[in-house]
Structure 1
Amino acid sequence: MDWEGWGTAPTGYDAATLYLHSLPVPGFAERVREEFCNLLGDPAGRVGELTACTEILQAANRVPFYADLADKVRHHLDHLGAATRRA
């Protein structure tokens, strides 16, 4: 795993990147989310998560894996938006 954003990216970016890339394997994605809930569960971590989502969606036209992942990321964003509206 390349943690290129370590120290320079928004809080939770690396955890979010791992989580988003694990979405094709729901059981693993759930485990990642649980392990990093302290980062991904707060407003600062949400910025990192949104940043990671944006990067994947922007690359979806250029990177075949991201094209496959984009629908899962969009679905996650719908879920994330609904959770934000409830909070």
Structure 2
Amino acid sequence: MNTSIEELVAGILEVPLSTITDTTGPTNLKAWSSMKHIRLIVALQETYHVTLAKREIQRLTSVGAVKKALSEKGVAFN
């Protein structure tokens, strides 16, 4: 995997990579709109070849939560 979670999120949200941390989420980043959240979910599923259930999607409230959800699906991070 050449693209990090942070790079993927920054690209979808159209913000500088430097603004993305594990605590970044829709409550503290205006660019993380509901439409971009949907785009992010689709990109995560396509990039990491996983399927996220509705319950899992509802828990994606930050970059850290995204990493945790993907980790639970067997995705390894450096």
TM-score, scaled to structure 1: 0.29
- State the structure with bigger RCO (CA 8 A, min sep 6), 1 or 2: 2
Which has the larger share of helix?
Answer: 1
TM-score, scaled to structure 2: 0.31
